Amino acid sequence: MNESISTPDIHHGPLYKRVKRLLTQGLAAGEWKPNEAIPSESKLAQRFNVSIGTVRKAIDELAAENILVRQQGRGTFVATHSVNRYLYHFYHVINEDGTKHLPVPELLLYRRIKADARLAAHLNLDRGDRVIHVRNLLRMQGKPVEVYDIYLDAARFDALDRESFEQRKGPVYQLYQERLGLNVIRTSEQLRAVGVGAEEGQLLGVAANTPVLQVERIAYTYHDMPVEYRCSLVNTTGHVYQSDQEARP
């Protein structure tokens, strides 16, 4: 990837946005791997034929979006999906007193199904395409807190079998990254209160029709490509759903 920015490109939005797009293309293509340093700002400025300040502004935005991580004295690295990142950026269920605990998953189901119209729309697939369906129960401090269903494009995630999910050592997004080189960089969620069904209520230890929080989430990789649809049911008795957003420039 040796792209330079030509004069006409300057007139298509801010120049640093163009640099950001080129950097994102490199990340999406796997030019720089998770936990690997990207080139220095001066080298990138030379590569794209722009000023160091323009490169720095592009990197600042990618760092604000948790795609890149600056390390003082070492450089800028591609973010990895560590347990800590999972807890503070992607998992929002906490105790009422504000404390966070790492949830412990139990795999309940792994199967392959055909996408209905709704799943196909969420994952940008065609109706009838094969989809992997995974169901997990999460416990915090030994208590069942959340049951969720994940749906994935079977063609893209074909390398992940039941054992992959059952024996993973970290968060699901870390599994995607390590096994497939696929980075989840953002999520979009919709929340609503629903009455829990009998089966899910039994898993969560509550009676059928008890109000629970339903969280529908679509996870995206680079270029706003949806890669995972997830529907969670959260028992908020003793817990709250807290999502903190950092201010963006």
Query: Is there a single domain that holds both residue 135 and residue 218?
Result: yes
Q: Among the three residues 78, 97, 121, which one is the final residue of a domain in this structure?
A: 78
In a domain, 1, yes or no: no
Question: Domain for residue 248, yes or no?
Answer: no
> Is there a single domain that holds both residue 61 and residue 122?
no
**pLDDT per position as a tens digit, 34-77:** 888 999 999 999 999 999 999 999 999 888 877 888 888 889 98
By C-alpha distance, which of 85, 122, 91 is closest to 104?
A: 91
Q: How confident is the model at residue 2 (pLDDT cuts 50, 70, 90)?
A: very low
Q: What are phi and psi of 17, to 5 degrees?
A: -65, -35
- Give me the residues paired with residue 232 across strands: 148, 215
The CATH number that applies at residue 14 is: 1.10.10.10
Residues 205 and 140 in one domain: yes
Residue 213 lies in a domain: yes
Identify whether residues 176 and 91 lie together within a single domain.
yes
Range of lowest pLDDT (1-10, 135-144, 218-227, 234-243): 1-10
For residues 183 and 175, give the distance between their C-alpha atoms in angstroms, rounded to a whole number.
10
223 plus 113 within the same structural domain: yes
221 belongs to a structural domain: yes
As a whole number, mean pLDDT of residues 162-177 equals 90
| Same domain membership, residue 148 and residue 63 | no
Give yes or no: residues 14 and 136 share one domain. Answer: no
- Give the span between the Cα atoms of 177 and 182, in whole angstroms: 5
* pLDDT > 90 in the chain, percent: 56
Q: Are residues 68 and 92 in the same domain?
A: no
Q: What is the CATH number of the domain that holds 229?
A: 3.40.1410.10
Same domain for 110 and 175? yes
Which domain range does residue 24 map to?
7-78
Q: Are residues 124 and 162 in the same domain?
A: yes
- Specify the pLDDT at position 125: 97
Taking the complete model, does pTM exceed 0.85, yes or no?
no
Same domain, yes or no, for 144 and 218? Answer: yes
Among 23, 51, 78, which residue terminates a domain? 78
Residue 19 lies in a domain: yes
Confidence of residue 229 (pLDDT cuts 50, 70, 90): very high
- Do 27 and 67 meet the contact criterion of CB atoms below 8 Å apart? yes
pLDDT tens by residue, 133-152: 999 999 988 999 999 999 99
Residue 2 belongs to a domain: no
- The Cα 213–Cα 194 span in angstroms is 6
Amino acid of residue 35: N
User: Residue 80, Cβ neighbours under 10 Å: how many?
Assistant: 18
Identify whether 228 is part of a domain. yes
- Residue at a domain's end among 17, 45, 78: 78
How many domains are contained in the chain? 2
Is 217 found in the same domain as 121? yes
